[in-house]
Chains A and B, each alone.
Chain A
Amino acid sequence: MDIETVVQRLQLERLYADYAHCLDADQLEHWPDFFTEDCFYRVTSAENFEAGLPLGLIYATSRSMLKDRVSALREANIYEPQRYRHLVSSLRVVGEDPGGLDAEANVLVVRTMQDGEMTIFATGRYVDRVVPDGANWKFARKEVVLDSRQIDTLLAIPI
């Protein structure tokens, strides 16, 4: 690896770590900032993804739609207090071109409810398009592809 690749790699690692921290630390208001203005984000199952079905359980075609998701969670929707712990690993760059990178990573989310009950809420992978934004990187596209088709109770906080 040349030094540029190593630097790029460290930047990407930080992007994913900061992203996970944002969600786990309940800093949802900052979550849209990880995305480009005209980003695409969806949460789907491996079954839908592999069948080429377009549905997203959460589906956004712009950063403003991500902001709306956050304001709905904060101001409108009713769900029990809960927190996530994301474990993101095995980050891989699977494609690279002058415009950006195609990256994938494994993700596991443990959800803890207010009474302390913990569940492995989600496992899957991120299938992402990452583009440079000044000295940083942003997600132009993020697909959260969950291994299971089942969601326990509800999906409030994004993954």
Chain B
Amino acid sequence: MSVEPALQWPAEGNARVPYRVFSDPEIYHEELARIFLGPTWQFLTLAGELPTPGDYLTTFIGETPVIVTRGKDGAVHAMVNRCAHRGNLVCLKRRGHADNLTCVYHAWRYDLEGNLDSVAFRRGIAGKGGMPASFELKDHGLQKLAVDQFGDLVFGTLSPDAPPLGDYIGNQIGSRIHRVLHGKPKVLGTTSQILHNNWKLYFENVRDTYHATLLHSFFTTFRMSRLTSEGGVDIAEHGMHHASYTRNKIDRVGAAASDQLYAGIPSLRENFRLAEPGFLSMIEEFGDDTTTQILSLFPNFVLQQIQNSIALRLVLPKGPDKTELQWIYLGFEEDDPAMSALRLAQANLVGPAGYVSMEDGAVGNFSQRALPGADNQASVLEMGGFDHVSEENRTTEASIRGFWQAYRPLMGF
């Protein structure tokens, strides 16, 4: 590991996280290379966002700009958005439609798969100038990503060492993705949230089943989710991915005992009532009694189901202390008007203004602001013990420990 000064991970293993990993610019720089450009699969887009050959959009893997296209062959392709000539951005727009990809700087032209088609004035003028005879177009294409799909979710990787996507996700987590994405996805809208904290603080938050009903009043007060509700966590091998789930119709200790357990916890606002609580109830659509499922794929993808609110979240690092959280809110083509209306009403729960999610935007920021002076200290992740295995229980930080279990070998920590 080349990070200086070397990071000594505490002896407690995944039950401790040195605070330096959330602030150190060198560690951040290594993460971009070892994790985001390393053997991980990263979400690029929904396949339906590129319906027609020639459609393209731009996104990022880590901080590296990427173009995603629908090729003339009908397949989705992805390449680094960096011209093979002198490194200019090739696609400037967030999305568009084109026959080819032409760099504005010196008009080098690529096909929709990233192969270099032509170089302006390649033969020079009247026998003078131009590229040497040794210059071969085929040696100068855009850097290509491997692309694969899991249902309608398109993922890419720049590393030849990433396992096949299906193996990467695994059956346990894969079936939990299919459970939610049971129809043809229809985008209801998108937004993005600028978080003034390290990307991992947000990702820890997503995997933190302990906090949800202690921080978010809506969950607790309206019994949408409580730690006393039935539920648990599924954690993939090596800790990579997770899915936490709640079946809120069943309280393990009963409503009265649950209220007692939460008595004195600020998130239970006994006198808080809504004039129109109707949107909090759920229309059954998943064929089971799971009312909330939060799923994450290492390193930065989230699939959320809170009642009938479905969203994809992409966590993009923008610096040691800055993160862009992109939200794609989904319904399905099959939704009837009642379901469409309910999804829009329940969108009030999530996103930057979400009755639930608003607080997650706040706490990451609060954590980041407390980091100065903590370079030799570590956070404590002992809730539920030290391991990172699936269990029928959410009073645990096992999913977060799983994240660190996946993170540390990649970083050499």
B101 on the A face (CB < 8 A): no
The interface on chain A, measured as residues whose beta carbon lies within 8 A of the other chain's beta carbons, has a size of: 36
Residue from the list B188, B218, B276, B344 in contact with A76, Cβ < 8 A: B218
CB distance from A118 to the nearest CB of B (A): 15
CB distance from B37 to the nearest CB of A (A): 25
Chain B binding surface SS class: mixed
| Contact (Cβ within 8 A) B189 A44 | yes
In the complex, number of A-B residue pairs with CB atoms less than 8 Å apart? 119
Interface-side segment among A17-25, A130-138, A146-154: A146-154
User: What is the CA–CA distance of A47 and B306 in the complex, to the nearest angstrom?
Assistant: 25
Residue from the list B272, B352, B362 in contact with A78, Cβ < 8 A: B362
B361 on the A face (CB < 8 A): yes
Chain B's closest residue to A68 (CB) is B274
Residue from the list A48, A69, A154 in contact with B193, Cβ < 8 A: A154
| Contact (Cβ within 8 A) A80 B272 | no
Render B353-373 as a binary contact track against A, CB cut-off 8 A, 1 for contact.
101001101100100000000
**Inter-chain contacts of A56 with B (CB < 8 A):** 189, 344, 347-348
Q: A62-B276, A71-B272, A77-B217 are in contact. Are A150 and B347 (CB under 8 A)?
A: no
| Contact (Cβ within 8 A) B190 A47 | yes
Q: A151-B194, A155-B352 are in contact. Are A55 and B358 (CB under 8 A)?
A: no
| Contact (Cβ within 8 A) A57 B276 | no
| Contact (Cβ within 8 A) B269 A149 | no
**Inter-chain contacts of B361 with A (CB < 8 A):** 153-154
Render A53-74 as a binary contact track against B, CB cut-off 8 A, 1 for contact.
1111111111011011101100
B281 on the A face (CB < 8 A): no
| Contact (Cβ within 8 A) B352 A151 | yes
B245 on the A face (CB < 8 A): no
| Contact (Cβ within 8 A) A55 B347 | yes
**Inter-chain contacts of B221 with A (CB < 8 A):** 76
| Contact (Cβ within 8 A) A151 B193 | yes
Render B333-347 as a binary contact track against A, CB cut-off 8 A, 1 for contact.
000000011001101
User: What is the CA–CA distance of A64 and B345 in the complex, to the nearest angstrom?
Assistant: 13
CB distance from A36 to the nearest CB of B (A): 16
User: What is the CA–CA distance of A60 and B365 in the complex, to the nearest angstrom?
Assistant: 28
| Contact (Cβ within 8 A) B191 A53 | no
B180 on the A face (CB < 8 A): no
User: What is the CA–CA distance of A43 and B344 in the complex, to the nearest angstrom?
Assistant: 12
Chain B's closest residue to A75 (CB) is B272
B389 on the A face (CB < 8 A): no
Q: A56-B347, A61-B345, A78-B215 are in contact. Are A153 and B193 (CB under 8 A)?
A: yes
**Inter-chain contacts of B188 with A (CB < 8 A):** 53-55
| Contact (Cβ within 8 A) A150 B193 | yes
Q: A48-B189, A77-B217 are in contact. Are A153 and B274 (CB under 8 A)?
A: no
Render B59-82 as a binary contact track against A, CB cut-off 8 A, 1 for contact.
000000000000000000000000
**Inter-chain contacts of A67 with B (CB < 8 A):** 275
User: What is the CA–CA distance of A62 and B274 in the complex, to the nearest angstrom?
Assistant: 13
**Inter-chain contacts of A47 with B (CB < 8 A):** 190
**Inter-chain contacts of A45 with B (CB < 8 A):** 189-191
| Contact (Cβ within 8 A) A76 B194 | no
**Inter-chain contacts of B191 with A (CB < 8 A):** 45, 48, 55, 57, 149-151
**Inter-chain contacts of B271 with A (CB < 8 A):** 75
B187 on the A face (CB < 8 A): yes
CB distance from B356 to the nearest CB of A (A): 9
| Contact (Cβ within 8 A) A72 B189 | no
**Inter-chain contacts of A58 with B (CB < 8 A):** 348, 353
**Inter-chain contacts of A152 with B (CB < 8 A):** 193-194
**Inter-chain contacts of B269 with A (CB < 8 A):** 75-76
Of all A-B residue pairs in the complex, the 6 with the closest CB atoms, nearest first, are A55-B189, A154-B361, A151-B352, A155-B353, A76-B217, A64-B275
Known: A45-B191, A150-B192. 15 other contacts (CB 8 A): A45-B190, A48-B190, A55-B188, A56-B189, A59-B348, A65-B275, A71-B274, A72-B355, A75-B217, A77-B359, A78-B358, A151-B191, A153-B193, A154-B193, A154-B362
Interface residues of B (CB under 8 A from A): 187-196, 215, 217-218, 221, 269, 271-272, 274-276, 324, 329, 340-341, 344-345, 347-348, 351-353, 355, 358-359, 361-362, 365
A-B pairs with beta carbons under 8 Å apart, 7 shown: A53-B189, A61-B345, A64-B276, A65-B345, A71-B274, A151-B191, A153-B194
Interface residues of A (CB under 8 A from B): 43-45, 47-48, 53-62, 64-65, 67-69, 71-72, 75-80, 149-156
